[in-house]
Structure 1
Amino acid sequence: MFSRTGIDLVESGEMILEKGDPEGIVVTSGASWKCPTYVRKLPPCRNECPSSEDIRGYLTKIALAKDLKKDQDEAFDEAWHILTDKNPLPSVHGRICPHPCETGCNRKEKSDGAVAINNMERAIGDHGLARGLKLKMLTDEEKTAKVAIIGSGPSGLSCAYQLRRRGYQVTIFEAFEKAGGMLRYGIPVYRLPDDILDKEIQNILDLGVGLKLKTRIGEDVSMESLREEFDAIYVAIGAHGGAKLNVPGEEKAANVFSAASYLNRVNAGAKVDVGDKVVVVGGGDSAIDAARASLRMGRAMMGEEDQVETESAQAALDSARASKRMAGCESTIVYRRTRDEMPAIASEIDAANNEGINIEYLAAPKRVIVKDGRATGIELVKMKLGNPDKSGRKSPVVIEGSEYVIDATSIIVAIGQKPQISGGLKKLVDEWGWVKVGKNMTSQIEGVFAGGDAQGLGISTRAVGDGRKAARSIDAFIKGVNYPPSPKPRPVKASQLRLDYYPPMPRHEEKSISSEERGGNFEEITKTISKEDAIEEASRCMSCGLCFNCDQCRIFCPREAIERDKKREQGWVMFTDYTKCNGCHICAEVCPCNYIEMGMGL
């Protein structure tokens, strides 16, 4: 007697509790607890992904294409649709995400390192743009319910996408001239080019999402009028306000900027004259971005001499300017702890070092030195590390009498950001100025939901995840239903796998242009990995917790009780004839990915 079984234990961040194979879950007459059960489990990469992308799904779709005699482009198309089911901005996040998914990857327990998931996301995203792939609606039904999204950053775009594809009438209200939020105004174009962001935003709008630019809630449109017109509201205003140093001299100098305002102006196309000695205070990604952007801006401003007529003279002049830019501009980051505690992405710190940016560790600002209304330097004091604080990092302690001064033509403050709240939105904030958000992305006002950086700073993929969760809660609110909470995730551990089954394979890294090539321009620094490298990288995925057609169980079964369903491409492809199975456990022992468990129940 044949039986197919498959139980989806958990899908992180979703309402699914158990999802059985449509052909039936478990029990057949004569079956014994000794026989194999096929259990689809949560891979650790997905468990660590804040936007809950089906990473295993899109990697194995590419990895298995050759065995399934599937066209490469078709496999990449399918991978793109799997990826964008949870995250509609794959090309964007393949460039900027610090990839916490890779910290969970079980392959890192082998000598060849974690799967390069972030590089794969970028490759799949760029493939989708090149092919002109379109995001999919989930229904043909056009609902009458209307939802307003305040803010067009990653969280607002994600929520708009998930609601629109379910048939809701969605309108985004954006205060700036262009959509994108901090993706556009907080990340330099050498990391995230405008054309990539524009194309992925347009893909969302093409579903029928409305967009009203240069519309600030509380000034141009009242919160009260939105509540009257729309059935629900999602507040995703981000955190565009910069924190201050609160040291003497800061308020008196015109050339002291917040990182948020500086990057906003640079990304908007303004030429900000920062001079040739820029000091950036902070240790996060914004600090690194501001320092690297200021270095480019300073070199570009120094290179604005008149053009010469002949090509040979121009080439000579370009070489001279490049040397002048590299030698004549300085950008220094001041951070009060050591590199080990620095919250910025490690690869971005390395890139800053490679570009010649100096980092003053264990130093904190004491005062801004001002002359004629402009900062000419900053007084620092040396620090040492003391006991750990609430975050687990060691607290910086002042070393008395260790003050020193470094010159500065501009000072950029990158020590934190806060939401900019106005009008009726003020009712949503707590005593510290952050939007107060409940576990289902609810606010203090019924029908108003919130998420993203407005509730506290986080990475962009967390904002995408917030938007998706908010869309689910808004859907439940409008329908008047309650979705059950997700169960506690149980990701597959490396100790549950047969790591020796997977042969060593080198990791494929993206390539970068040289420091010399970067000069005074904002050209994109990194390159997307080739399709050939992407296919090889996808095959490094160990498919933790889900069958990937290795055939080990079928090959080693002494009773020939296991067969393969060739109609299925991946996942639940094996089935057992329980009249032949003697419960020897060999299939479970040889299964490399921990898909097989012995016994008919959990």
Structure 2
Amino acid sequence: VVVSGVPREDMACFDNEFDDAVREGTLVHFQTGALEVLSDEGRVSGLRCSPMERKAKGEEGWNSPVPFLRYRHSGEPFIIEADMIVASIGQATDMEGFESVQNGSSWLQVDRNFRVRGYDNLFGGGDAIRVDLITTAVGHGRKAAEAIDAFVNGEPMPGNVYQEVTKARNQDILYFLHTPPAQRSMIEPEVVKGNHDELLQPLTGEQVRSESERCMSCGLCFDCKQCVSFCPQEAVSRFRDNPAGEKVYTDYSKCVGCHICSLVCPSGYIQMGMGEGL
């Protein structure tokens, strides 16, 4: 059973996840507010609820950006029996104990090295600076660790190298065959009732390999040899020892800046410039 204080259109959830829950037999009480958790001999026994209705125009909170605050309790309370209740009413970070370093903000204010502004020896990241994904927090932690290492060893803070995103307009997409993405299969809802199996099945090993082959290596060289083949001056050649990260070499004494290598590069890896020493 799901208790929602707002109607379906105001629920903060993904459509496919909501539809999956309904297919699995989940009963949803829309515009229903929780009043009290009931207990019996120290154990949860139910949830006292009441209907919710939209506030009238001009009433406090009627146009709040938070959907739940646009509604108020109305009607007779009722009880939903339950032996377990999971509260899912929003996401926020408990910053208790950090008030003195928040600088009046709800979060920690950090610089590009994740050092808290105004403090040389305090670093932060993840949900302490904004609610985001776990992978984002891992990235913050890695960059903060590099900065902490530099700070402890008395070295300069790491530079923040900007990685420009390669757009499709900078790629020769006609080089790639159009391959539709793999689709995950669904199983019957009855199969997953009463257990922890997933309704949406994972990709098979073969599908995963097929998906990896769809990668267009945006902004990266994947050794297609297009530049070597099309260079009219034979200025581009492959490295014989093929050092890590380097596939081809440009002899600038032969290059005339015709841009052909850049135009035929499928991934947008080649950027035109004057070259080192010129």
The corresponding residue for 1:543 is 217
The 5-angstrom pairing of residues 330-369 of structure 1 reads: 331-336=1-6, 338-339=8-9, 342=12, 344-345=13-14, 347-360=16-29, 363=31, 365=33, 367-368=35-36
Q: CA deviation at 1:535?
A: 2.0
Greater C-alpha radius of gyration: 2
Residue 556 of structure 1 pairs with residue 230 of structure 2: yes
On the 8 A contact 2:150/2:158 being kept in 1, the answer is: no
In percent, how many aligned pairs have the same letter?
32
* Structure 1 CA distance for aligned equivalents of residues 29 and 172 of structure 2: 45
Distance verdict in 2 for CA 1:414–1:588, change over 3 Å: same
The corresponding residue for 2:179 is 505
The corresponding residue for 2:193 is 519
Task: Provide structure 1 residue ranges, at least 5 long, that are not aligned to the other structure.
Answer: 1-330
On the 8 A contact 2:103/2:109 being kept in 1, the answer is: no
The corresponding residue for 1:397 is 70
Q: CA deviation at 1:368?
A: 4.3
* Structure 2 CA distance for aligned equivalents of residues 388 and 435 of structure 1: 22
Q: CA deviation at 1:339?
A: 4.6
* Structure 2 CA distance for aligned equivalents of residues 595 and 487 of structure 1: 17
Q: CA deviation at 1:598?
A: 2.9
* Structure 1 CA distance for aligned equivalents of residues 121 and 163 of structure 2: 29
The corresponding residue for 1:585 is 259
C-alpha offsets along residues 138-159 of structure 1, whole Å, 9 cap, x if unaligned?
Answer: xxxxxxxxxxxxxxxxxxxxxx
The corresponding residue for 2:58 is none
- Give the root-mean-square deviation of aligned CA atoms: 4.1
| 1:353 match: secondary structure | helix
Q: CA deviation at 1:561?
A: 3.5
C-alpha offsets along residues 321-356 of structure 1, whole Å, 9 cap, x if unaligned?
Answer: xxxxxxxxxx124153655762x4554334323322
Distance verdict in 2 for CA 1:574–1:356, change over 3 Å: same
On the 8 A contact 1:546/1:593 being kept in 2, the answer is: yes
The corresponding residue for 1:597 is 271
On the 8 A contact 2:172/2:265 being kept in 1, the answer is: yes
* Structure 2 CA distance for aligned equivalents of residues 371 and 421 of structure 1: 30
| 1:490 match: secondary structure | coil
* Structure 1 CA distance for aligned equivalents of residues 161 and 228 of structure 2: 32
The corresponding residue for 1:75 is none
Residue 461 of structure 1 pairs with residue 135 of structure 2: yes
The corresponding residue for 1:379 is 50
Q: CA deviation at 1:461?
A: 1.3
* Structure 2 CA distance for aligned equivalents of residues 442 and 345 of structure 1: 34
Distance verdict in 2 for CA 1:372–1:360, change over 3 Å: closer
Counterpart among 373, 398, 408 of residue 80 in structure 2: 408
* Structure 2 CA distance for aligned equivalents of residues 567 and 351 of structure 1: 53
* Structure 2 CA distance for aligned equivalents of residues 388 and 534 of structure 1: 44
Please state which structure has a larger fraction of its residues in helix. 1
| 2:271 match: secondary structure | strand
C-alpha offsets along residues 483-541 of structure 1, whole Å, 9 cap, x if unaligned?
Answer: 14414442111222222222111212444554222121224666553333222211111
Distance verdict in 2 for CA 1:370–1:535, change over 3 Å: closer
Q: CA deviation at 1:375?
A: 4.4
| 1:471 match: secondary structure | helix
The 5-angstrom pairing of residues 197-212 of structure 1 reads: none
The corresponding residue for 1:576 is 250
Q: CA deviation at 1:454?
A: 4.3
Distance verdict in 2 for CA 1:570–1:348, change over 3 Å: farther
C-alpha offsets along residues 436-488 of structure 1, whole Å, 9 cap, x if unaligned?
Answer: 35334445876443333345432211221222122122212211223144144
C-alpha offsets along residues 210-240 of structure 1, whole Å, 9 cap, x if unaligned?
Answer: xxxxxxxxxxxxxxxxxxxxxxxxxxxxxxx
Counterpart among 526, 531, 538 of residue 205 in structure 2: 531
Residue 438 of structure 1 pairs with residue 110 of structure 2: yes
Question: Which amino acid is 1:515 matched to?
Answer: P
C-alpha offsets along residues 278-316 of structure 1, whole Å, 9 cap, x if unaligned?
Answer: xxxxxxxxxxxxxxxxxxxxxxxxxxxxxxxxxxxxxxx
Q: CA deviation at 1:596?
A: 1.9
| 1:413 match: secondary structure | coil
Task: Provide structure 2 residue ranges, at least 5 long, that are not aligned to the other structure.
Answer: 56-60
* Structure 1 CA distance for aligned equivalents of residues 245 and 38 of structure 2: 66
Distance verdict in 2 for CA 1:483–1:448, change over 3 Å: closer
Q: CA deviation at 1:573?
A: 1.3
* Structure 1 CA distance for aligned equivalents of residues 10 and 260 of structure 2: 46
Distance verdict in 2 for CA 1:538–1:366, change over 3 Å: closer
The 5-angstrom pairing of residues 87-126 of structure 1 reads: none
| 1:595 match: secondary structure | coil
* Structure 2 CA distance for aligned equivalents of residues 563 and 340 of structure 1: 58
* Structure 2 CA distance for aligned equivalents of residues 435 and 582 of structure 1: 53
* Structure 1 CA distance for aligned equivalents of residues 195 and 251 of structure 2: 65
* Structure 2 CA distance for aligned equivalents of residues 601 and 337 of structure 1: 60
Counterpart among 136, 141, 147 of residue 473 in structure 1: 147
| 1:563 match: secondary structure | strand
On the 8 A contact 1:511/1:526 being kept in 2, the answer is: yes
On the 8 A contact 2:10/2:67 being kept in 1, the answer is: no
Q: CA deviation at 1:378?
A: 1.0
On the 8 A contact 1:364/1:383 being kept in 2, the answer is: no
Q: Matched residue pairs, number? A: 264
On the 8 A contact 2:237/2:248 being kept in 1, the answer is: yes
On the 8 A contact 1:498/1:592 being kept in 2, the answer is: yes
Identify the structure with bigger relative contact order (alpha carbons < 8 Å, sequence gap 6+): 1
* Structure 2 CA distance for aligned equivalents of residues 445 and 585 of structure 1: 48
On the 8 A contact 2:34/2:47 being kept in 1, the answer is: no
On the 8 A contact 2:171/2:266 being kept in 1, the answer is: yes
Q: CA deviation at 1:379?
A: 0.9
